[in-house]
Amino acid sequence: MHDVRSDGDAILRLDNVNKHYRRARSGQADIIHAAKDVSFELERGQMASLVGASGCGKSTVLKMIAGLIPPTGGEITLRGEALTGPNEHIGIMFQQPTLLPWRSVMENVLLPIEIREGRKAANAARERATQLLEMAGLAEFASAVPSELSGGMAQRAAICRMLVTQPEILLLDEPFGALDEFTREQMNVEFERICRSREATAIIVTHSIQEAIFLADSVFVMSPRPGRIVKRIDIDLPRPRTPDMITGNRFNEYVREIHDLLFGSGEGASHD
Ligand X SMILES: Nc1ncnc2c1ncn2[C@@H]1O[C@H](COP(=O)(O)OP(=O)(O)OP(=O)(O)O)[C@@H](O)[C@H]1O
Site of interaction with Mg ion (CB under 5 A): 59, 95
Q: How far is the CB of 250 from another protein (least distance, A)?
A: 36
133 and 109 Cβ atoms separated by less than 8 Å: yes
According to CB under 6 A, which one of 10, 11, 12, 34 is a site residue for ligand X? 34
- 32 lines the binding site for ligand X (CB under 6 A): yes
Q: Does 23 bind ligand X (CB under 6 A)?
A: yes
Residue whose C-alpha is closest to residue 126's, from 134, 91, 158: 134
For position 210 contacting ligand X by CB under 6 A, the verdict is no
Burial of 222 per CB tally in 10 Å (0-12, 13-18, 19+): buried
For position 177 contacting another protein by CB under 8 A, the verdict is no
- Would you say 35 and 17 are in contact if contact means Cβ atoms under 8 Å apart? yes
* Interatomic CA distance for residues 155 and 256, integer angstroms: 29
Task: Report if residue 56 touches ligand X, rule: CB under 6 A.
Answer: yes
Question: Which partner, ligand X, another protein, Mg ion, none, binds residue 98 by CB below 5 to 8 Å per kind?
Answer: another protein
**Angstrom distance (rounded) from CA 156 to CA 133:** 8
Contact residue for another protein among 75, 88, 134, 140 (CB under 8 A): 88
- Quick one: which segment of 34-42, 43-51, 95-103, 228-236 binds another protein (CB under 8 A)? 95-103
Residue 183 burial (CB count, 10 A): 17
Strand-pairing partners, residue 18, are 73
Nearer residue to another protein within complex by CB, 144 or 262: 144
Where do contacts with ligand X occur on this chain (CB under 6 A)?
21, 23, 32, 34, 52, 54-60, 95, 225
